[in-house]
Amino acid sequence: MSEVPESKLNSLSIDCVIFGFEDAQIKLLLIQRELDPHRGSWSLPGGFIKMEEGIHAASERILKEMTGVDNLYLEQLGAFGEVDRYPLKRVVTIAYYALIKPGNYTLNPGPDASEARWFPLEECPPLPFDHPDILQSAINTLQWKVQHQPIGFNLLPEKFTLLQLQELYEAILQVKLDKPNFRRKFTRLDLLEPLDEYQKAVSHRAARLYRFDEAKYKELTETGFSLRELRLMGG
C-alpha cells in the first residue's frame, strides 16, 4: 500500500453530465479532449478528485471551472467502475448531473479541453469510454426526477410561460402532452405564482408569465409529488 502523499486520488475521477434547455430542446454540454486517449473527441467534462476535497465539492469545482458558475443544481448519479472502462489504468468514476440555463453563462473549456460546446441531445456525437452509459443513466434519472420533484425550474428562466414549461417536459420525456391537462396539473400543484406580466411582441395572444413559489418549491422538493401518468397524457 502506497502511503505516498498525493495531491489527487489517482484512481478516482468525476464526470459530469450537464443538461441545458434552449429553443425547446434539451442540450448537453461537452468538451473536446486535448489529451490522449481519444484526443480530439467530444466527451463529458471531468477531472480528478483532490486529496483535501469531498467528492461533491470536487464536482462543483469541475463544473465551476467549466462554466464559471457555482450554486447549480448538481446531483450524484453513482459510481461507474468496470475494469476496462478506461484503457490506460484502472479508474473508477463518480458521475454527476447538473442542470443549467445555457444562455446565462460563458463557457470556459478548462485545462484539459480545447473547446466546450452545447449539443442538442439528439445530435450528440459518439462519446468515448463508458460515457454513453453514464449519459443514459443521467437521462433516465432526469426523466424520473422531473416527474417527482420540481427540478425542472433549474432549466427555465426566472419568468416563463406555461407553454415553455410544457415544452420542457415534452423535451425531457420525449412525449407530446395535452395542453389543457398539463396546465391544470401544475396549477393544482400550487407551485406556480402567476405574475401580472405578459409576453410582448408575439403574433398571438400574449401568455401570462409565471415564476415558481420559493417556499412551495422547497416543500415539494422535500415531499415530492407525482405527475404519474404524465407520460401517457395527450396524443
Binding site for DNA (CB under 7 A): 161-163, 178-181, 183-185, 188, 198, 201-208, 226-230, 232-235
Contact between 55 and 49 under an 8 Å Cβ cutoff? The reply is: yes
Nearest CA among 126, 135, 219, 227 for reference residue 181: 227
Longest dimension (CA), the chain: 69
Which of 61, 69, 73, 81 touches its own copies (CB under 8 A)?
Answer: 81
The torsion angles phi and psi of 178, rounded to 5 degrees, stand at -85, 125
Could you tell me how far CA 137 lies from the centroid of its own chain? 12
Q: How far is the CB of 69 from its own copies (least distance, A)?
A: 23
Q: Angle 131-146/162-173 helices, nearest 10 degrees?
A: 140
11-30 mask for its own copies (x: CB under 8 A)?
xx------------------
Q: How far is the CB of 164 from its own copies (least distance, A)?
A: 27
Task: From 25-33, 90-98, 167-175, 188-196, give the range in contact with its own copies by CB under 8 A.
Answer: 90-98
Q: Which does 2 bind (CB under 5 to 8 A by kind): its own copies, DNA, none?
A: its own copies
Contact between 90 and its own copies per CB under 8 A: yes
Q: Tell me how crowded residue 102 is: count the other CB atoms within 10 A of its CB.
A: 17
Contact between 227 and its own copies per CB under 8 A: no
Q: How far is the CB of 91 from its own copies (least distance, A)?
A: 9
> What is the Cα–Cα distance from 43 to 106, expressed in whole angstroms?
19
* 31-55 exposure pattern, b = at least 16 Cβ within 10 A, e = fewer: bbbeeeeeeebbbbbbbbbeeeeee
Task: From 21-29, 70-78, 110-118, 178-186, give the range in contact with its own copies by CB under 8 A.
Answer: 70-78
Q: How far is the CB of 198 from DNA (least distance, A)?
A: 6
Interacting residue ranges for its own copies, rule: CB under 8 A: 1-4, 6, 9-12, 49, 51-56, 76-83, 89-90, 92, 94, 226, 228
